[in-house]
Amino acid sequence: MRTGKIIINVLIATTGLLWSCPAVQAGEIGMPDKPIIIGTSNPVEFDHVLHRSLDIPCGECHHDDGHNPRGNEEIFAIVDGKELHCKNCHNKDFANTFLQNRKDIFHTNCKPCHAVGINGNRGPRKCNGCHIKDR
Ligand code: HEC
Ligand code: HEC
Ligand code: HEC
Ligand code: HEC
């Protein structure tokens, strides 16, 4: 009864995996499951799993070239994550000059929600809450 045993082991392993990361739903393979580092000279750590657990839609941060929020399903299906990088659009050729600069686009995207918070939980507002080198 080898095959039966293997199937049971696979079932146990899979169930264990799902239980160990309850914030991430099955099929959400398109989301980085470990914190990512944004930028190089003044790097910031950003944790998708934490923000996902707050039920923030992907399109709150990921939008298309018409500034329409991109849907969760559409983003989960993306194979090459580089497609989502902000600098693909927000670079020195971007029409709105205020939105060419990394500091401006990220601070505008990240800070207001941290100040208001979600269900009484506010995000970091001090520089070293986001910028790793300042810690
Ligand atoms: C609060 C803002 C925010 C939310 C919400 C968010 N992301 Fe991101 N995501 C980012 C930032 C910032 C980056 C890095 C962009 C860059 O480096 O230019 C990123 C990068 C990515 C990348 C590329 C990683 C790589 O390979 O470099 C993927 C894939 C991704 N996000 C998927 C998702 C999915 C799926 C969701 C919804 C479940 C989501 N994101 C929600 C901010 C967000
Ligand atoms: C496919 C192109 C594209 C990508 C990729 C992109 N943006 Fe944008 N973004 C735009 C366009 C177009 C606008 C609207 C510009 C305008 O209104 O002048 C915009 C506007 C913005 C604004 C100003 C809107 C506001 O609320 O004030 C912010 C902030 C911003 N983007 C942040 C980001 C961040 C952060 C990322 C990466 C996670 C990103 N964008 C990725 C095209 C893009
Ligand atoms: C729509 C709301 C929202 C947006 C947009 C958002 N955050 Fe947050 N973030 C939060 C909340 C709420 C918390 C606090 C969560 C908690 O304490 O449980 C948080 C926590 C954090 C933390 C602390 C993590 C920890 O381990 O304590 C960091 C760092 C962070 N966010 C970075 C970012 C960055 C960088 C961006 C922009 C790319 C961003 N956030 C955009 C809501 C947001
Ligand atoms: C909510 C998170 C958050 C907070 C709080 C925050 N920043 Fe940032 N900041 C970012 C992100 C994300 C970037 C983009 C990182 C990159 O691409 O280099 C950034 C970029 C910058 C840059 C440009 C880095 C570069 O290499 O172009 C500077 C300078 C900066 N921040 C200074 C500050 C200072 C000073 C404070 C405190 C007054 C602060 N930031 C607070 C998230 C934050």
Which amino acid is residue 34, in one-letter code?
A: K
Whether the pLDDT of residue 116 is over 50: the answer is yes
pLDDT in tens, 72-94: 999 998 889 999 999 999 999 99
Alpha carbon of 134 to ligand 1 centroid (Å): 23
Ranges of beta strands (E only) in the chain are 36-38, 44-46
Alpha carbon of 24 to ligand 3 centroid (Å): 17
User: CB of 107 closer than 6 A to ligand 4?
Assistant: yes
Count of residues making up the chain? 135
- Of the bound ligands, which one is closest to the alpha carbon of residue 93? 2
Share of the chain above pLDDT 70, in %: 79
- Please state the domain count of the chain: 1
pLDDT in tens, 3-23: 444 444 444 444 444 433 334
The whole-number pLDDT of residue 5 equals 46
Q: What is the mean pLDDT of residues 25-50?
A: 86
Domain containing 69: what range? 2-134
d(CA 10, CA 69): 38
User: CB of 39 closer than 6 A to ligand 4?
Assistant: yes
